[in-house]
Structure 1
Amino acid sequence: MSEQVLKIENVTMQFGGVVAVDNLNLEINQGEIVALIGPNGAGKTTAFNVVTGVYQPSNGAVWFQEKKIIENYPQGKMKKLYKGQHAGEYTHALSPTPDKITQMGMARTFQNIRLWKSQTVFDNVLIAKHCRSTSNVFSAAFRLNYKEEAAQRRHVEELLEIVGLADVKDDLATSLPYGKQRRLEIARALATNPRLLLLDEPAAGMNPQETDELTAFIGEIRDQFHLTVFLIEHHMNLVMGISDRIYVLDFGELIAQGTPAEIQNNQRVIDAYLGVAEDA
């Protein structure tokens, strides 16, 4: 049986009186590519933000590599406002910051590309390696970490070669075509040596050819880096072509889960999402 990499357990995310994610339960096993789909505003990115420590859930827990890393329960004003389920089930508050979660072995990209604009392609990836550095201010100041730094630079060179960006390593990140900027953002995430890679609408803004290339690229990096991939995406050709399993959210509620074939034939999903025009 495959190792469970991620488990979202009874997670509710409520902002004031608005429930953005309502009692979400989701599991992802080692080596899978799992998609989270649904209409705009369904709560997909909110779920990502909970998993990666950007938001602390109003209630529920998140497990990573079979260890509970996030937990919360209604406190303060939320005690009265809370509209979700399982209100009395959780009693502890665990809320690691995003950098700590990255060190645990998660990495993510964002809907809107977030590259360091004034840095080269090489430096964008190198900076991401720092989360794995063992040096401190003293060792860095006196160049005692030169062996580690040299190893990091070699790894960045190798990574850029793998993702097809070695020829533009000295270019400013923002000078790249859009598709290569997306690829660079994924390369930067890979530089943190993740077990789980979260991709938030990686094909957003891409033309059909770029989307096809990205679909193949995601499959290649999953296999080459032995990754598990959790993605949000509106492009159904990409989702159906690459996903092992799919979860569907609508108004914060999980309405379906299954294989691509099962989701394509689920009437509730068709009515809520697949039957409407695909987002660009």
Structure 2
Amino acid sequence: MSNSILRLEDITMQFGGVVAVDNLSLEVNQNEIVSLIGPNGAGKTTAFNVVTGVYAPTNGAIYFKDNLITSNYPKGSMKKLYAGQNNGKFNTRIEKTPDQITKLGVARTFQNIRLFKDLTAFENVLIAKHMRAKANFLSATLCLNHKEEHTMREETLELLNILGLTDVKDEKASSLPYGQQRHLEIARALATKPELLLLDEPAAGMNPQETGELTAFIHDIRSKFNLTVFMIEHHMDLVMEISDRIYVLDFGKLIASGIPEEVQNNQRVIDAYLGVQEDGEE
């Protein structure tokens, strides 16, 4: 078995006539921190949505721990509209829902924080714990799951303690400082016991001090929870400091990959971020 935990093979995501992700292939190995970067509109979040089952890809396949979890190909009206590559390469349709993918061991956070704002920090994490609860509707209704519920509450308190959120466990999520809300969202994702954690712009809206603290925080949880981290981020200082490897998208296409130093000095990456000066312009 390979060291790969996530592998995308020729993924294309097309909306009508617009190709948002074009023939994307990449691999994330166990215990790595891998970043997916690119200008706004490059297709990064769309790629995350395909991995987590929010979208079924128009074409391509996804493997988690060498097991095929997602596969699709152009069909119906898309057969004529399809503008991506590798039409005809795939002939299997497997489309798992986000909750099914979460149960496999994949969790994510979002660019815009999506906490239950009127619930406490404790309740936000406890809800995520219920994703792996064994109780069914009947046993929960008859209160036959009290032992499991007690265990989940203990595990929630332990997780909040590990992540330094014990002092705010009874505070409403909406009342927490922005940085703590980010940490709480990550705690909620960790409550599902993932092996692969997807972070969508975790430093968005943070000041330099908070970004520095987040860098240490991600390193810490990777070690403590034996995690693999796949991250979208625009803060290049954070990306270059924390990443083992980096993939770069531009207009849905992969234009570069490698270790931070290689990507940082790649002319195609520089052009994508800064723009290429047209002939005749001054």
Q: TM-score, normalised by structure 1?
A: 0.97
- Shift of residue 79, structure 1, vs aligned partner: 0.2
Alignment-derived partner of residue 51 in structure 2: 51
Q: CA RMSD in A?
A: 1.2
- Shift of residue 267, structure 1, vs aligned partner: 0.9
* One-letter identity of the residue aligned with 1:242: I
Q: After superposition, what is the alpha-carbon deviation per residue over 1:187-214, rounded to whole angstroms, capped at 9, x for unaligned?
A: 0000000000000000000000000000
Is the contact made by 1:131 and 1:192 (CA closer than 8 Å) also made in structure 2?
yes
- Shift of residue 18, structure 1, vs aligned partner: 0.5
Alignment-derived partner of residue 211 in structure 1: 211
Alignment-derived partner of residue 22 in structure 2: 22
User: What is the alpha-carbon distance in structure 2 between the residues aligned to residue 164 and residue 23 of structure 1?
Assistant: 41
Q: What does 1:97-176 correspond to in 2, within 5 Å?
A: 97-176=97-176
Alignment-derived partner of residue 40 in structure 2: 40
User: What is the alpha-carbon distance in structure 1 between the residues aligned to residue 127 and residue 274 of structure 2?
Assistant: 40
* One-letter identity of the residue aligned with 1:174: S
The gaps in structure 2 that reach 5 residues or longer are 277-282
User: What is the alpha-carbon distance in structure 1 between the residues aligned to residue 96 and residue 210 of structure 2?
Assistant: 35
User: What is the alpha-carbon distance in structure 1 between the residues aligned to residue 111 and residue 93 of structure 2?
Assistant: 28
Matched, 1:227 2:227: yes
The 3-state SS of whatever aligns with 1:107 is: strand
* One-letter identity of the residue aligned with 2:180: K
Is the contact made by 1:107 and 1:197 (CA closer than 8 Å) also made in structure 2?
yes
Matched, 1:194 2:190: no
Is the contact made by 1:250 and 1:272 (CA closer than 8 Å) also made in structure 2?
yes
Q: TM-score, normalised by structure 2?
A: 0.96
- Shift of residue 137, structure 1, vs aligned partner: 1.1
User: What is the alpha-carbon distance in structure 2 between the residues aligned to residue 172 and residue 133 of structure 1?
Assistant: 24
Is the contact made by 2:2 and 2:66 (CA closer than 8 Å) also made in structure 1?
no
Q: After superposition, what is the alpha-carbon deviation per residue over 1:18-69, rounded to whole angstroms, capped at 9, x for unaligned?
A: 1000000000010000000000000000000000000000000000011000
Alignment-derived partner of residue 70 in structure 1: 70
Distance 1:161 1:274, change over 3 A: farther
- Shift of residue 262, structure 1, vs aligned partner: 0.5
With 19-28 and 265-274 compared, the bigger mean Cα shift is at 265-274
User: What is the alpha-carbon distance in structure 1 between the residues aligned to residue 228 and residue 273 of structure 2?
Assistant: 25
Matched, 1:262 2:245: no
User: What is the alpha-carbon distance in structure 1 between the residues aligned to residue 273 and residue 156 of structure 2?
Assistant: 40
User: What is the alpha-carbon distance in structure 1 between the residues aligned to residue 18 and residue 141 of structure 2?
Assistant: 49
* One-letter identity of the residue aligned with 1:63: Y
The 3-state SS of whatever aligns with 2:152 is: helix
Is the contact made by 2:7 and 2:64 (CA closer than 8 Å) also made in structure 1?
yes
Corresponding residue pairs, total: 276
The gaps in structure 1 that reach 5 residues or longer are none
- Identity over aligned pairs, percent: 70
* One-letter identity of the residue aligned with 2:161: E
* One-letter identity of the residue aligned with 1:66: D
User: What is the alpha-carbon distance in structure 1 between the residues aligned to residue 233 and residue 80 of structure 2?
Assistant: 35
- Shift of residue 275, structure 1, vs aligned partner: 7.4
* One-letter identity of the residue aligned with 2:116: W
Q: After superposition, what is the alpha-carbon deviation per residue over 1:206-264, rounded to whole angstroms, capped at 9, x for unaligned?
A: 00000000010000000000000000000001100000000000000000000001011
User: What is the alpha-carbon distance in structure 1 between the residues aligned to residue 256 and residue 249 of structure 2?
Assistant: 7
Is the contact made by 2:105 and 2:196 (CA closer than 8 Å) also made in structure 1?
yes
Q: After superposition, what is the alpha-carbon deviation per residue over 1:82-136, rounded to whole angstroms, capped at 9, x for unaligned?
A: 0111110111111111011001100000010000011100000000011100001
User: What is the alpha-carbon distance in structure 2 between the residues aligned to residue 134 and residue 56 of structure 1?
Assistant: 28
The 3-state SS of whatever aligns with 2:49 is: helix
User: What is the alpha-carbon distance in structure 2 between the residues aligned to residue 130 and residue 66 of structure 1?
Assistant: 27
Alignment-derived partner of residue 280 in structure 2: none
* One-letter identity of the residue aligned with 2:47: A
Alignment-derived partner of residue 7 in structure 1: 7
The 3-state SS of whatever aligns with 2:76 is: coil
Is the contact made by 1:2 and 1:30 (CA closer than 8 Å) also made in structure 2?
no
